[in-house]
Amino acid sequence: MRAARGWGLLFLGLLAGALAVHLCHARRMEELYWEKERLKVDLLETSERLARSEALWADRPGGKICSVEIAIEGEIDDYAKLELERLANEIAATLIGGTIGELEADLVIALLHRRKFSAEGKDYLAVVNWVVLAPQTLFSLSVSPAPADSSGGNGGLPGGAAVF
C-alpha cells in the first residue's frame, strides 16, 4: 500500500509539474500567436503599399526626360543671361525624350561644359557646376566673359568647344 501511495504521489507530482510547465508556456505561446497575427497584418499592409507603389511607378513615363531647365549664375547683365539661357536650352533640348538610365553622365555634361557662347555682341564661357538627371533635368552653369581669342578657331578652349 505504501508503494501504491508512493506511485500516486509521484504521479500527482508529475501531473502538478506538467501543469506548471503548461501554464508558463501557455502565456508565452499566446504572446507568440498574437505576434504572428500582428506580423501577418503588417505583411499584408506592406504588400498593399508595395503594390500601390509599383502601380504608380508603372504609370510614370518610363524614366524619360520631359523638360530641361538651365540655371545660370555669374556676373552678366539680364539680357545676356536670357540669351545664354535660350542658347543653352537649344542645345540641351536634344535630351528631351531620352531615357535617363541610358544616358552617359559625362556626355550630358559635355553638352555645355566649357562651351563658348556669343550673346549681346560678347563671348561667354559656360562651365557646368552640376546636373540633375531626372524627368525635369536641371543644369547649373557658371558663365563668365570668355578669355581673349588667342589661338583662333575655338577661342582657346580645349576639346574643340563650339561657338554658338
Does 63 or 133 have the greater pLDDT score?
A: 133
In the chain, domain spans: 1-60, 67-163
**Rounded mean pLDDT, 106-113:** 94
Q: What is the mean pLDDT of the chain?
A: 85
Does 120 or 157 have the greater pLDDT score?
A: 120
CA distances from 57 to 44, 51, 138 (A): 20, 10, 21
**Rounded mean pLDDT, 108-116:** 94
Q: What is the pLDDT of residue 137?
A: 94
**Rounded mean pLDDT, 143-158:** 62
Nearest to 85 by CA among 74, 109, 69: 69
Q: What is the pLDDT of residue 148?
A: 78
Q: What is the per-residue pLDDT across 24-53, written as a single tens digit (0 to 9) for each? A: 888 889 999 999 999 999 999 999 999 988
Q: What is the per-residue pLDDT across 88-100, written as a single tens digit (0 to 9) for each? A: 999 999 999 888 8
Cβ(160)–Cβ(154) below 8 Å: yes
Does 135 or 151 have the greater pLDDT score?
A: 135
Set of cell numbers at residue 113: 561644359
161 falls in which pLDDT band (50, 70, 90)? Answer: very low
